[in-house]
Amino acid sequence: MDTWTTQKGFPALTVTRTGASTAEVSQRRFLLGPRDESDAHEYTWWVPVSYAAAGADFESEEALAPRAWLEAGQEAAELELEGGGGEEDVFIFNVQVNNHTSKCCSTSLYSQTPAYSKFLAQ
């Protein structure tokens, strides 16, 4: 949790489809302006990653609960996409996430993922 409280900024996620049922999710620090080159800190966060196939019920627990986590120090992760059948399927990532304050961030959904206790311990 300390990555959200002890460093400045927020993560921006990029999702790149790498195969019919795989995608790479990467994080970088979100900045409106140019990066301060004198800041050598490597900004990474514990970031929950949820997704659902287009057309899914975006209010459902399945669509809102994290299916993976990017860990502090981890810039990218490869995901096996569940719920789609091929390369043309569209997935929506981090449905209803808005600055980590939306209802998808309820503790009950997060606590069901194995990485949650590891996240809290940081």
| Domain locations along the chain | 2-114
Residue 114: the pLDDT is 54
Which pLDDT tens digit goes with each residue over 76-117? Answer: 999 998 876 677 788 888 876 654 433 333 344 444 455 555
Q: What is the pLDDT of residues 40-57, one digit of tens each?
A: 888 999 999 988 887 888
pLDDT at 102: 36
* Averaged confidence pLDDT in the chain: 78
> What is the reported pLDDT for 99?
47
- pLDDT > 70? residue 121: no
What does the block give as tokens for 24? 């790479």
Q: Taking the chain, what is the end-to-end CA distance rounded to the nearest angstrom?
A: 6
Global pTM? 0.71
Q: Which CATH architecture has domain 2-114?
A: Sandwich (2.60)
pLDDT digits (tens, 9 = 90+) for 1-27: 678 888 888 888 999 999 888 899 999
pLDDT of residue 117: 55
For 4-58, what is the HEC assignment? HHCCCCCEEEEEEEEECCEEEEEEEECCCCCCCCCCCCCCCCCEEECEEECCCCC
Consecutive H or E run containing 64: helix 61-64
Q: Which residue has the tokens 């057309």?
A: 55
